[in-house]
Amino acid sequence: MAERVVVVGLGLIGGSLAKALTGRAGCTVLGIDQNPAVVEKAVACGAIAREADAADLRDADVLYLCLYPQATIDFVRAHGAEIGRQCVVTDTCGVKSAVCPALQALSAEYGFPFVGGHPMAGKEKNGFDVSEAALFDGASYLLTPCGAPEAAVETLRGLAVRMGFGGVVVTTPEHHDEMIAYTSQVPHILACAYVLSPRCLEHRGYSAGSYRDVSRVARINEQLWTELFLDNGAALSRELGTLAEHLAQLKRAVDQKDAETLRRLLRQGRERKESMGE
Amino acid sequence: MAERVVVVGLGLIGGSLAKALTGRAGCTVLGIDQNPAVVEKAVACGAIAREADAADLRDADVLYLCLYPQATIDFVRAHGAEIGRQCVVTDTCGVKSAVCPALQALSAEYGFPFVGGHPMAGKEKNGFDVSEAALFDGASYLLTPCGAPEAAVETLRGLAVRMGFGGVVVTTPEHHDEMIAYTSQVPHILACAYVLSPRCLEHRGYSAGSYRDVSRVARINEQLWTELFLDNGAALSRELGTLAEHLAQLKRAVDQKDAETLRRLLRQGRERKESMGE
């Protein structure tokens, strides 16, 4: 049972993992953050036992990297030699093809096992202050083992269960990125495109759940998501193209007052949703 | 204080209005529905006191028409002569320009006041069985008086408050339809377009709140919404065009790996959302 864990990057995701690993999984959690005030806060509230140093990277059972994609690679490049060969290294990036090959190469170079990871949870706010152990309750945890030993995958799976994740899905970086382009990236692009309409400014009083739901994730962290979108540009572009095509079909039916086509497309949408048991 | 109310059409909206008017506003509510079994159920559960007949249309203080747009006009055309001149007639259609002029003309012909109405609430299910008095809790109630006497507007406003609506907004049919195209119709079109992606079929395990929120209203009543979309085709088409243009801008930035433009567009989305206090 993994007990010594280091979490690098104590933002929303790293802070929440630290809190869940400490409070729910019973691990001894050490933390690293570029902001000393955040480390202090994390110690003060008990999310981490103390700040981690190079010796802790050598002795850890698991290392959770909770940084932006390029920063994740940069950290392992800078500290790879300090990481113990027993330590399961995993990231939390929302894209996998853009980070896993580099981390796999570093894993081969330094001897530690690497398993790509993506905890499917978030908020419209960032930072340690909004992190919470309950963030992952019932959420899906996506793992891309990329050839790592089964034991490393099982270590992460076990911790995920103890933290309260709803399930673990093991897949390839490529399939992960195709699915995420659809399930997560397109909705974020959509939310931004949607609120850019001039009508948005006067929606108050004229809106209900539909507006709220589509626009919710427009409160985006544009630094992070620009990196995520460009790191997954090909898959994201394909999905945006598919969506644009379906939207154009529906718009054409409206423009041509083609009730039959419109009804058919809407019925297909409803049946698709119902066929998923939703 | 209006006490005798007739509700025509006991589906999700009519059934919920009947329950709220009876249970919360303390009105005597009579009902009409093409399905006798629904009338029976409504009586059995106390949503209405009994079925309404022609004499009740003559004596009522308020008449809520809870039918599809064309059926609303057809009902008043067929029964206009039976409606008392004191009776405030209002509809519940999600579009106003396509129904208000015809109902205004019938109001002038028969002498009853007409005020267009749109209770901004719904569900992904239809029919009396899913209706509930709480449906309108905190919701916005849009009124388009179209020249009706202020007293008629005040009657509906007072009942709305007693039913638990969050607020009443008075506007024109044209402005209503422009706003609704954006706040409600586009999200419904979007939800259907979104779930038509082949990726939708395998989203389970790879999705979280973003997928759920964008796809929610794809469980659409295609008969009703085809009518609503075509009745508001011009405004809806303009909004779909605006959305398609913003989506295309974002897609182009992804395709061209133009981080600066992408970041700027996402920041605009975030700032727009934040500027609305959301």
We report the CATH number of the domain holding residue A228 as: 1.10.3660.10
CB contact under 8 A, B266 and A192: yes
**Domain co-membership, B30 together with B75:** yes
Residues sharing a CB contact under 8 Å with residue A137, sequence separation 6 or more, in sequence order: A164, A166
Residue B196: the pLDDT is: 97
Segment A18-45 shows an average pLDDT of: 98
How far from A205 is each of A171, B122, B142, B171, CA to CA, in Å? 44, 15, 8, 11
Range of the domain at B143: 4-171
For residue B78, which amino acid is it? A
Identify the closest residue of chain B to A275 by CA–CA distance.
B201
Average pLDDT, chain B: 96
Residue A110 has pLDDT above 60, yes or no: yes
Residue B1 has pLDDT above 60, yes or no: no
Residue A27 has pLDDT above 70, yes or no: yes
Residues of A in contact with B170 (CB under 8 A): none
CB contact under 8 A, A167 and B222: no
* Model confidence pLDDT, tens digit, residues B174-224: 999 999 999 999 999 999 999 999 999 999 999 999 999 999 999 999 999
Residues of A in contact with B201 (CB under 8 A): 272, 276
Residue B9: the pLDDT is: 98
Confidence band (pLDDT; 50, 70, 90) for A124?
Answer: confident
Domain count, chain B: 2
User: Domain boundary residue among A149, A170, A191?
Assistant: A170
Q: How far apart are alpha carbons A136 and A81 in whole angstroms?
A: 31
Torsion region of A26: left, alpha or beta (phi above 0 gives left; psi -120 to 50 gives alpha): left
* Model confidence pLDDT, tens digit, residues B78-120: 999 999 999 999 999 999 999 999 999 999 999 999 999 999 9
**Domain co-membership, B207 together with B150:** no
Segment A247-261 shows an average pLDDT of: 98
Q: Name which of B195, B223, B254 is nearest A229 (Cβ-Cβ).
A: B254
**Domain co-membership, B124 together with B8:** yes
Place of tokens 């973003």: B210
Report the CATH number at residue A73. Answer: 3.40.50.720
**Domain co-membership, B12 together with B148:** yes
Residue A3: the pLDDT is: 87
Residue A1: the pLDDT is: 56
To the nearest whole angstrom, how far is the Cα of A20 from the nearest Cα of chain B? 19
**Domain co-membership, A225 together with A155:** no
**Domain co-membership, B153 together with B30:** yes
Residue B225: the pLDDT is: 96
* CA triple B186-B135-B221, angle to 5 deg: 45
With beta carbons less than 8 A apart as the criterion, state whether B140 and B170 touch: no
Q: How far apart are alpha carbons B236 and B190 in whole angstroms?
A: 12
With beta carbons less than 8 A apart as the criterion, state whether B203 and A182 touch: yes
User: Domain boundary residue among A135, A170, A205?
Assistant: A170
User: Domain boundary residue among B154, B171, B188?
Assistant: B171
Q: Name which of A167, A182, A230 is nearest B197 (Cβ-Cβ).
A: A182
Segment A104-112 shows an average pLDDT of: 98
**Domain co-membership, B79 together with B192:** no
CB contact under 8 A, A263 and B218: no
Residue B262: the pLDDT is: 98
Q: Name which of B179, B192, B209 is nearest A266 (Cβ-Cβ).
A: B192
**Domain co-membership, A9 together with A142:** yes
**Domain co-membership, B124 together with B197:** no
Confidence band (pLDDT; 50, 70, 90) for B44?
Answer: very high
Confidence band (pLDDT; 50, 70, 90) for A278?
Answer: confident
Confidence band (pLDDT; 50, 70, 90) for B2?
Answer: low
Place of tokens 């609120």: A195
From the list B240, B237, B276, the residue with the least C-alpha distance to A206 is B276
Identify the closest residue of chain B to A261 by CA–CA distance.
B226
With beta carbons less than 8 A apart as the criterion, state whether A78 and A19 touch: no
* Model confidence pLDDT, tens digit, residues A93-107: 999 999 999 999 999
**Domain co-membership, B33 together with B143:** yes
**Domain co-membership, B25 together with B157:** yes
Between A and B, how many residue pairs show a Cβ–Cβ distance under 8 A? 298
Q: Name which of A169, A229, A273 is nearest B206 (Cβ-Cβ).
A: A169
Residue B25 has pLDDT above 90, yes or no: yes
**Domain co-membership, B63 together with B116:** yes
